[in-house]
Structure 1
Amino acid sequence: MAAPTLAWFFLLLAGFAEIGWAVGLKYTEGFTRPLPTVLTIAGMIVSFYLLSLAMRSIPLGTAYAAWTGIGAVGTVILGMVLFGESRDLARIGCIALIVGGVVGLKWLSGSAAH
């Protein structure tokens, strides 16, 4: 894989790890449950590490926005699936806007190292 492609792969994995730790926070019950707490903290470390690897090739603003976008969209979707959160059309439309923004940032970022 070329370096920019690998960087985007790391960023995608970092986003998935962010989803994991964000959902994990719900299960820690205020960091009072040991196993969910350890897994959540491990997810945080993995997410930040992979984000730092991605930022070697992807501009800071683009990487951070994409990382938070992936995490936000995934967390909202899992909130709907796992916790019965609202699935109304406006909420789904907002998710689509976030996805569009992340795709736009990737498209505009090019492949130059920063």
Structure 2
Amino acid sequence: MDTLQKTQGNGGAWGMLMLASAFEIGYALSVGGSQAFTIPSWSIAAVVFFLLTLYFLSAALRTIDVGIGYAVWAGIGSVGAAVFGSFLLDQPLTLIQAVWLGVIIAGVVWLKLADSPKLAATA
């Protein structure tokens, strides 16, 4: 499948990638809350989030190039886990960490823009 065909109508794939990213955040937070899988409720949540993130990531990567999709998924998961972890799990988040998390967000936005049909048509 050529690049232009892959970028046309892949909004659903990007939606699945966003769901996979949200589930990845849930997975990371659940693993942290499970305290090395010693708390059953958090441990069960971690397994459920893990299975959901794998399903939605694999579905999204049918259309989105694996390098782009994985980078976006990992970036959103990392940023989300750091931000929500600071609120929900009382994990510290310093100013310099927040700056670098902003760099990750900027990279994710640029990766999404690079996958747009307009840019693919001009390349």
State the shift of 1:106 in Å. 1.0
Unaligned runs of at least 5 residues, structure 2: 1-7
Partners of 2:61 and 2:82 lie apart in 1 by 25
Taking structure 1 as the reference length, what is the TM-score of the superposition?
Answer: 0.89
Unaligned runs of at least 5 residues, structure 1: none
CA RMSD for the aligned pairs? 1.6
* Residues 41, 81 of structure 1: alpha-carbon distance in 2 compared, 3 angstrom cutoff: same
Rg comparison, structure with higher value? 2
Taking structure 2 as the reference length, what is the TM-score of the superposition?
Answer: 0.83
Query: Any idea what the Cα deviations from partners look like across 1:27-56, whole Å, max 9, x if unmatched?
Result: 212112222111110100000100011101
> Paired residue for 2:33?
27
Partners of 2:53 and 2:79 lie apart in 1 by 16
Partners of 2:39 and 2:91 lie apart in 1 by 23
- Please identify runs of 4+ aligned residues in structure 1 that moved more than 4 A: none
Match of 1:59 among 57, 65, 77: 65
Code of the residue aligned with 2:21 in structure 1: it is G
State the shift of 1:105 in Å. 0.9
